[in-house]
């Protein structure tokens, strides 16, 4: 069971890293740099959630949080995950295994 836990932890860390590099560095609203607090408010998330996403330890990010960010960024989840898998191809599922 530990291997599954490690895999999920790595996935969560990589999703957070992807979000940070793609959307949080720097925080922008309508193309203008802004603060973490203003960005969080615009996404309808708490600033502590945004901070957790950027933490080195990683964050068990809920899909609802990813959805809030993608809605604010005006991209769909399909695009988000396609771009994520381009950057982190090791997370593609091997459908040939049971």
For 94: left if phi > 0, alpha if psi spans -120 to 50, otherwise beta; the answer is beta
* Rounded mean pLDDT for each run of 10 residues along the chain, 98 residues in total: 73 95 96 96 97 91 97 96 93 58
pLDDT value of residue 3? 59
Give the CB-side neighbour count of residue 40, counting CA atoms within 13 A: 13
Cβ neighbors of 95 (< 8 A, separation 6 or more) are: none
Read off the pTM.
Answer: 0.87
Q: Encoding tokens for residue 58?
A: 């990683």
């Amino acid at each position: 069971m530990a291997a599954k836990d490690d895999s999920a932890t790595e996935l969560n860390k990589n999703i957070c890293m992807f979000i940070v590099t793609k959307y949080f560095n720097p925080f922008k609203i309508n193309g203008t740099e802004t603060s973490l607090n203003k960005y969080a408010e615009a996404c309808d998330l708490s600033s502590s959630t945004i901070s957790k996403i950027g933490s080195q330890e990683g964050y068990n990010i809920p899909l609802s949080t990813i959805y809030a960010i993608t809605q604010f960024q005006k991209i769909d989840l399909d695009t988000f995950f396609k771009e994520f898998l381009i950057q982190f191809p090791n997370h593609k599922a091997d459908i040939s295994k049971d």
